[in-house]
Amino acid sequence: MTTTALSVRDMLVVYEDFAALNRVSLDVQHQESFGIVGESGSGKSTLLRAISGLSAFQEGSLTVDSRNFNGRKRDREFYRTVQMVFQDPYGSLHPRQTVDRLLLEPLAIHGFDNVDARIARALDEVGLGSGFRFRYSHQLSGGQRQRIAIARALIVEPKILLLDEPTSALDASIQAEILNLLEQARRDRSLTFVMVSHDLGVISHMCERLAVMKSGEIVEILPADALEKRQFSADYTRQLLVASEGFRRD
Amino acid sequence: MSVVEQHLKPYSREWLLSDRPTSRKQARIGRAYVIWQRFAENRLALFGLMIIIGLLFVAAFADVLAPHNPLQGDLRYARLLPPGSDGYLLGTDDQGRDILSRLIHGSRLTLLVVVLVAVIAAPVGLIVGTVSGYAGGWVDAVLMRITDIFLAFPKLVLALALVAALGPGIENAILAIAITSWPPYARIARAETMTFRNSEFISAVQLMGASPFRIVLRHVMPLCLSSLIVRVTLDMAGIILTAAGLGFLGLGAQPPLPEWGAMIASGRRFILDQWWVAAMPGAAILIVSLGFNLLGDGLRDALDPKEAGQ
């Protein structure tokens, strides 16, 4: 049975008099992997930030697990359900905390028990052994940092994971590893993904459906395999596809 | 990870510098060791640290070290003896009291002033600054305008006004100095907080559902701490001088307490003929201030590499 995990209706985000999101609506099903692509400034990251409560939306509605949210206010229960992985692994880990502290924090906030075992398991799950547990973030490489960021998001056992270009700051070989790790986690935990990327290749690899965004609006929503069959209606999608193929070497 | 790394001898150099600490304790001690190494590279900073340790030592063992009673002198035979007199290494003052003994006991008062001011002013500045920087909006506006008001007064004048209102005495001098020295700390902490309040690692904690209180206390404050420690250490010289200034004006420690500033004040009357009465406490203030400044510089290089070399 597929039900709606996350639903956005007519979301409007205005900065001064610039509409970063102009009445965006989308529905993401349970256990679905939903991609959002678009050029820089198309509002895709703004959408994730508005969903997560990092920035406020002025109008519209957000429904997560049949609970309504608005503006910026999110309760603790929301963050048990929804977690986010950021783009820049160099900026998203606290510079003065060990991995242990980083992973302990969400457990402490949500009052989990058995924290030592949970931290050890979380590190194992992202392919880092206990040898990394007491390192500071400056003692880690970019890929390792992103694994820690993923472990931190997964440790509270969320149902929905928001991914804001999780691999664009990493080089190609590490990208593949991180994407495989995310795919594995999704299968193991039956997660729902909302993934933002400017890379059509990454999105079509990871996602079942995707939305194409431009200037704060959704141009179209289509299944990922429609991209390969070239069954899209919007001219902009075609341009985006051509642009991304232009850099392919095959 | 290799088996070898797991079996490093605790507290050995390799254990301290290991990239793969195996316990919370090892990670923390290792980090402290790295900071210590950076600090110890700086010879002048070590010299400053030695002065401060010397001050602590003298203050702790004042009763044993002082050759004479600091409060009661020998008015009959030992008035205004020059340095090097028999039994009075640094000479005596107008009441026949041994200046060395007074300096040794005065170190306790100096230390008391410095420590109490730091303990009162630094946390106040840290809290005001981080809350203001993190909250923004009207909270920021209100807190910063209050800070501005305190900053608008010259430090010594505001301290004078407070002492005048509360009455002279070392406790009131400490309170006055503390009240006048927190605003710069608040400014520093606020500026520092604002540089990372929108950073992703703070967003990440917000997304864990952490309360603003928790974020400020556990994630923002530790980051402001090192620059604050540096600043407080560098300010200690100024605190000592302000305390001495209040003492000099007769508003700090009251006679017969051997406070260094008050000692200078009492030596002023015969500064031309018996220069040592005022010069000795002056030298003590100079040396301790220098020690704190050198220590602060070294701490800045060790804790805050981005500001080093200024």
CATH number of residue B59's parent domain: 1.10.3720.10
Which residue out of A52, A93, A105, A161 would a mutagenesis test of the B interface target, given it has the greatest number of B Cβ atoms within 10 Å?
A: A105
Provide the strand spans (E) within A102-241: 160-164, 192-197, 209-214, 217-223
In a shared domain, residues B234 and B258 = yes
Q: Note whether A46 contacts B: Cβ–Cβ < 8 A.
A: no
* Minimum distance, in Å, between the CA of residue A142 and any CA atom of chain B: 15
Burial of A19 (0-12, 13-18, 19+ CB in 10 A): middle
Name every chain B residue with its beta carbon within 8 A of the beta carbon of A152: 204, 208
Q: Which domain holds residue A160?
A: 4-245
Q: How many domains does chain B divide into?
A: 2
In a shared domain, residues B28 and B143 = no
The sign one gets for the Cα dihedral B161, B164, B165, B167 is: positive
pLDDT digits (tens, 9 = 90+) for B107-118: 999 999 999 999
A192-197 and A33-38 strand pairing = parallel
On the question of pLDDT at B88 being above 70, the answer is: yes
Which residue out of B199, B201, B225 would a mutagenesis test of the A interface target, given it has the greatest number of A Cβ atoms within 10 Å?
A: B201
Identify the closest residue of chain A to B221 by CA–CA distance.
Answer: A96
- Taking an 8 Å cut-off on Cβ atoms, the answer to whether B209 and A149 are in contact is no
In a shared domain, residues B142 and B12 = no
* Minimum distance, in Å, between the CA of residue B297 and any CA atom of chain A: 22
End-to-end CA distance of chain B: 41
- Taking an 8 Å cut-off on Cβ atoms, the answer to whether B204 and A80 are in contact is no
- Taking an 8 Å cut-off on Cβ atoms, the answer to whether B204 and A86 are in contact is yes
Q: How many domains does chain A divide into?
A: 1
pTM comes to 0.85
Q: Which pLDDT value is given to residue B1?
A: 44
Query: What kind and span of H or E run contains A183?
Result: helix A172-189
Q: Which pLDDT value is given to residue A163?
A: 94
- Taking an 8 Å cut-off on Cβ atoms, the answer to whether B219 and A129 are in contact is no
Rounded to 5 degrees, what are φ and ψ at A249? -100, -10
Instruction: Tell me the sheet residues that pair with B282.
Output: none
On the question of pLDDT at B306 being above 60, the answer is: no
- ipTM confidence score: 0.87
Q: Which pLDDT value is given to residue B304?
A: 66
In a shared domain, residues B119 and B223 = yes
In a shared domain, residues B116 and B1 = no
Q: Which pLDDT value is given to residue B185?
A: 94
* Banded model confidence at residue A246, pLDDT cuts 50, 70, 90: low
Contacts of B41 (CB under 8 A, 6+ apart): none
Q: Which pLDDT value is given to residue B3?
A: 44
* Minimum distance, in Å, between the CA of residue A216 and any CA atom of chain B: 22
pLDDT digits (tens, 9 = 90+) for A17-33: 888 888 899 999 999 99
Q: Which pLDDT value is given to residue A17?
A: 82
In a shared domain, residues B79 and B216 = yes
Q: Which pLDDT value is given to residue A19?
A: 84
On the question of pLDDT at B310 being above 50, the answer is: no
Q: Which pLDDT value is given to residue B153?
A: 81
Which residue out of B207, B214, B217, B225 would a mutagenesis test of the A interface target, given it has the greatest number of A Cβ atoms within 10 Å?
A: B207
In a domain, residue A250? The reply is no
Q: What is the CATH number of the domain that holds A64?
A: 3.40.50.300
Residue, of B94 and A121, whose pLDDT is higher: A121
Q: Which domain holds residue B21?
A: 1-40
Closest CA to A205 of A15, A2, A80, A33: A33
Alpha helices by DSSP H, chain B: 3-6, 13-17, 24-40, 43-60, 62-65, 99-135, 137-152, 155-166, 170-196, 200-206, 212-215, 221-248, 260-267, 276-303
Q: Which pLDDT value is given to residue B6?
A: 56
Q: How far is CA A165 from CA A19, A80, A232, B162, B192, in A?
A: 22, 21, 23, 57, 28
- Taking an 8 Å cut-off on Cβ atoms, the answer to whether A109 and B210 are in contact is yes
Q: What is the distance, to the nearest Å, from the Cα of residue B154 to the centroid of all Cα atoms in its chain?
A: 20
